[in-house]
Amino acid sequence: MQDKAVDDWIEALLRQMTPEEKAGQLVQLFEFEAGDPDIAAEVAAGRVGSILFVRDPAEIQRLQRIAIEQTRLGIPLLFALDVIHGLRTIFPVPIAMAASWDMQAIEAGQAIAASEARTIGLHWTFAPMVDIARDPRWGRMIEGAGEDPFLGSAVAAAQVRGFQGAALGTPGRIIAGPKHFAGYGAALGGRDYDEAEISESELRNVYFPPFKAALQAGAANVMCAYMALNGVPATGNRWLLRDVLKDEWGFTGFTVSDANSAYDLCEHNFARDPLDAGTRALNAGLDMEMSLLVKYSAFRHLPQALANGDITEADLNEAVRRVLTAKCRMGLFSNPYADLATCDVTLADPAHRDAARDAAERSFVLLRNEGDLLPLDRDTLASLAVIGPLADSARDTLGPWVFDHDLDETVTVLEGIRNKVGEHIRVDHAPGVSMIARQNPSFFDSLPGLEPAARVEVDDDAEIRRAVEQAKSADCTVLVLGEAQNMIGEAASRSSLDLPGRQQELLEAVIATGKPVALLLMSARPIDLKGAAPGAIVNIWYPGSQGGAAVANALFGEAVPGGKLPFNWPRSVGQVPLPYARMKSHRPDERNVRYWNEEGSPLYPFGFGLSYSKFEYSNLRTARPVIMLGETVDVEVDLANTGRYVAAEVAQLYIHQRHGSAVRPVRELKGFRRVVLKPGETRTIAFELRAEDLSYWSSASRGWVQDETIIDVYVGTDSAARLVTSFEVRSPEDQ
């Protein structure tokens, strides 16, 4: 239907609805166990408009039939699930995909996830998570794109395009729901769910841009944050949801709470009771409430709030209108049922696994490679020791936030290596130490139908001795260490960046053998290795269904690591937060403005990542030495592959504004290009700096400004780039 036809049809439907039916459309409930009679009863009574966490196609069909055939108006349900980095085919975790700096790969991966979700009857994902995260103690940084708003915005837009397609309702695509609006990644101390205190300047310059980029890419839903932002809970924050999101930005989609976050306005000591909580959330601009259980629904009290005069019929209708519009745009009124005959074919598509393997290869970050230990040479190796509690853990290879995966088809690192070398190289394996789940299991560890977290329990003393003997007898050791998948994610913040358990002891014991050691880190946050220096270090993140195959390709040079860190890697937890885009202050020498007991710089800077090949940058230039306010300037640099491998390099452009109406960071990412070069090839890399790239929100003027100033431009392989040029920005009046 055309826009006016959709609007007219929805208005006609609204006129038929009772307050109870309207409130029902704004309630979303979990179904934790298929066939739950309480959920079916709520659907039949018209008291629910959306269901989440259903993964069985037949159950989705059953509930949809109840909604359409047993309710007065036959309004279809929206089915949603956290499809974060894949449904059946699991891609690397989101921060790993951000480390690829490859927007085409990110978009393609989420398009595959969307196709698998839609084929089983799902319509909506609670992704992408676009929260900026500058404190690696926060577990949910795994779901985002790291610490930088420019990279985060690019990744957010790519994910939305992948999930949702060119327009809402594109066949084989689903509704994208960027989250958590806003500031959730700035929780105090990196403690999940804790409050966030963020200035408006930082909100608009750092935390808002990825959300704006997601909306510009077409995202039809936005999820609210759990926590209080500057003293007001995000789910009841009228400034966030109405003033900024809907009025200033013109968002026409619908908002949804995070699990129980409307009901929990009482827990915040913000609302006096559930009736007040529902009233405040709707008035603030919340359109749909997600509730773990019926008893935790605040929006079920909306008819009473309307009768009391605490909410207006216009506001209630507006929320319902936004939800019904999404259902209509997704085609649910005309075609509410999935074609189950296509499920098995889509979910088993081998092209999806190939894409997952390729994505993992693009995400790996080579942090250290002394003496060019990597890639390994199969022709000279007779034996390998593959050691570590994560080396053969299928569940950990996938990472958190997966719910419909297949462990039997997941390729672990050990399996990938053995498949690669066959009978030509002896491969020994020892877990080395125990890997036991964290002491306080999260909500997700107890959900029905999900396997428990993987556990490795051994006699650590005996196992370390066995691992050392294997390392001594092998030509090279591949150590796979890090964090179990349930040690990071929601409700999985950490006060330490150390390797859990006795992995540090294992690492140092294997290095002490004097044999070559390649360390693969399976994690999504920086890890403090306490100065231990194996020959090579590769951050493989949680690489997904084909992770082990991708790792094997990278180890033996069939894939060349080209990923770059999406965050600063601190030397110790005492440095955090340590954003690269810091402000200069009283003393320009950073050693005097940080800590006296260790260097102030990160161990690895934002954007860092080595390659098996070598790259050189030269001849950085701008098209003009002077531009006027509002104009664009072109920047070019020559990039040469001076090494021996065909390889990808991410050329990065940073700016620094020397003076203006407010202090600006020492470096800000404003452009990047991932390019593949052959050995000996040189290419000119072009960037464009627009007026919006040179503008910022100033607390001095309480608005967006572009200053007359001098801009320094740095281009190189990471945020510590030294190749620099500059240009001046003038007002036309100065000519």
* 455, pLDDT greater than 90: no
**Tokens encoding 61:** 């069909």
**Are the beta carbons of 617 and 715 closer than 8 angstroms?**
yes
**Are the beta carbons of 50 and 77 closer than 8 angstroms?**
yes
Residue 257 has phi, psi (to 5 degrees) of -80, 160
**Are the beta carbons of 258 and 179 closer than 8 angstroms?**
yes
Check whether residue 205 and residue 253 sit in a common domain: yes
Which residues make Cβ contacts (< 8 Å) with residue 575, sequence separation at least 6?
594, 595, 598, 600, 602
Q: Is residue 3 very low, low, confident or very high in pLDDT (cuts 50, 70, 90)?
A: confident
| CA nearest to 273, candidates 234, 310, 307 | 310
Q: What pLDDT is stored for residue 592 in this prediction?
A: 47
Residues forming beta bridges with residue 626, ordered by sequence position: 728
| CA nearest to 413, candidates 470, 478, 367 | 478
| Domain assignment present for 675 | yes
Check whether residue 424 and residue 323 sit in a common domain: no
What average pLDDT does range 128-152 have in this prediction? 98
Cβ–Cβ contacts within 10 Å for residue 598, how many?
13
Q: What pLDDT is stored for residue 443 in this prediction?
A: 65
Check whether residue 547 and residue 398 sit in a common domain: yes
Q: Is residue 708 very low, low, confident or very high in pLDDT (cuts 50, 70, 90)?
A: very high
Which residues make Cβ contacts (< 8 Å) with residue 313, sequence separation at least 6?
306
Q: pLDDT per residue over 219-275, tens digit each? A: 999 999 999 999 999 999 999 999 999 999 999 999 999 999 999 999 999 999 999
CA distance 324 to 13: 9
* 502, pLDDT greater than 70: yes
Check whether residue 633 and residue 721 sit in a common domain: yes
Q: What pLDDT is stored for residue 6 in this prediction?
A: 84
Q: What pLDDT is stored for residue 364 in this prediction?
A: 98
**Are the beta carbons of 336 and 64 closer than 8 angstroms?**
yes
Check whether residue 496 and residue 407 sit in a common domain: yes
Residue 331 structural domain = 3-343
CA distance 350 to 371: 37
**Tokens encoding 666:** 């020492």
Residues forming beta bridges with residue 520, ordered by sequence position: 480, 538
Check whether residue 334 and residue 356 sit in a common domain: no
**Tokens encoding 545:** 């269904």
* 544, pLDDT greater than 50: yes
| CA nearest to 502, candidates 534, 464, 469, 530 | 464
Please state whether 231 falls in left (phi above 0), alpha (psi between -120 and 50) or beta: left
Q: Is residue 453 very low, low, confident or very high in pLDDT (cuts 50, 70, 90)?
A: confident
| CA nearest to 414, candidates 351, 350, 477 | 477
Q: What is the DSSP letter of 109?
A: H
What average pLDDT does range 518-537 have in this prediction? 98
* 439, pLDDT greater than 90: no
Q: Is 310 a catalytic residue?
A: no
* Domain containing residue 218: CATH number: 3.20.20.300
CA distance 154 to 234: 24
| CA nearest to 290, candidates 237, 238, 226 | 226
What average pLDDT does range 267-293 have in this prediction? 97
| Domain assignment present for 584 | no
Q: What pLDDT is stored for residue 532 in this prediction?
A: 97
Check whether residue 12 and residue 150 sit in a common domain: yes
CA distance 451 to 466: 30
Check whether residue 248 and residue 150 sit in a common domain: yes
Q: Which entry of 102, 135, 148, 258 is annotated as an active-site residue?
A: 258
| Domain assignment present for 578 | no
182 cis-preceded (ω within 30 degrees of 0): yes
Of the candidates 322, 343, 364, which is a domain's last residue? Answer: 343
The model scores a pTM over 0.85: yes
* Domain containing residue 660: CATH number: 2.60.40.10
* Domain containing residue 551: CATH number: 3.40.50.1700
Check whether residue 384 and residue 326 sit in a common domain: no
Average pLDDT, the chain: 95
* 449, pLDDT greater than 80: no
To which residue do tokens 């709470």 refer? 257
Check whether residue 118 and residue 259 sit in a common domain: yes
Helix axis angle for 103-119 and 350-363, nearest 10°, is 150
Cβ–Cβ contacts within 10 Å for residue 438, how many?
17
Of the candidates 343, 374, 398, which is a domain's last residue? Answer: 343
Q: pLDDT per residue over 582-641, tens digit each? A: 998 876 555 545 666 677 899 999 999 999 999 999 999 999 999 999 999 999 999 999
Most distant CA pair in the chain, distance:
81
* 633-641 sheet: strands from edge to edge: 615-622, 633-641, 682-689
Helix axis angle for 103-119 and 149-164, nearest 10°, is 40
Total domain count for the chain? 3
Check whether residue 357 and residue 325 sit in a common domain: no
| Domain assignment present for 580 | no
To which residue do tokens 């699991």 refer? 90
Please state whether 117 falls in left (phi above 0), alpha (psi between -120 and 50) or beta: alpha
One-letter amino acid at 47 equals: R
Cβ–Cβ contacts within 10 Å for residue 196, how many?
20
Check whether residue 633 and residue 552 sit in a common domain: no
Q: What is the DSSP string of 417-486?
A: HHHHHTTSSEEEEE--S-B---SS--GGGG-TT-PPPP-B---HHHHHHHHHHHHHHSSEEEEEEE--GG
Start-to-end CA distance of the chain, whole Å, equals: 54
Q: pLDDT per residue over 656-707, tens digit each? A: 999 999 999 999 999 999 999 999 999 999 999 999 999 999 999 999 999 9
Q: What pLDDT is stored for residue 452 in this prediction?
A: 74
Q: What pLDDT is stored for residue 587 in this prediction?
A: 64
Percentage of the chain modeled with pLDDT above 90: 92
